[in-house]
Amino acid sequence: MALNTTGIPSAFSAYDRSFLALLGPTPKLEVLLENKTYPFAHEASVYIPTTNDLFMSSNYFNDTAGLKTITISKVTLPENGEDKPIFSEMLDTTIPMANGGINYVNESILFCGQGNMTATGGLFKLSTNPPYEAELLVGGFYGKEFTSVNDVVVHSDGSIWFTDPIYGYVQGIRPAPRLPNQVYRFDPKTRQIRVVADGFGRPNGISFSPDESVLYITDTAQVNGDGTTDYTKPATIPTRLSSYAFNVTTGNGDTFLTDRRVFAMADTGIPDGIKNDVFGNVYAGCGDGINTWSAGGVLLGKIIVENGASNFAFGRNGELFIMNENRLLRAQLSEDVKGALLRV
238 confidence band (pLDDT: 50, 70, 90): low
User: Cβ(7)–Cβ(303) under 8 Å?
Assistant: no
List C-alpha distances in Å: 188 to 126, 157, 164, 243, 302: 15, 10, 18, 23, 37
Residue 311: pLDDT over 80 = yes
Whole-model pTM: value is 0.92
What does the pLDDT average to over 69-95?
Answer: 88
Q: What is the spatial distance between Cα 206 and Cα 152, in angstroms, rounded to a whole number? A: 6
Provide the residue ranges of all domains of the chain, joining segments of one domain with +.
Answer: 12-332
Reduced DSSP (H G I as helix, E B as strand, rest coil) percent helix, strand, coil of the chain, to 5: 5, 45, 50
- Angstrom distance (rounded) from CA 147 to CA 23: 39
What's the average model confidence in pLDDT over 116-130? 96
How much of the chain exceeds pLDDT 70, in percent? 90
Written out in words, the top-level CATH class of the domain with range 12-332 is: mainly beta
Structure confidence at residue 248 (pLDDT)? 26
Instruction: Say whether pLDDT at 183 is over 50.
Output: yes
Residue 194's pLDDT band (boundaries 50, 70, 90)?
very high
* Residues found in the chain: 344
DSSP codes joined into one string, 283-308:
EEEETTEEEEE-TTS-EEEEEE-TT-
Helix (H, G, I), strand (E, B) or coil at 330: strand
Give the residue with greater pLDDT, 202 vs 302: 302
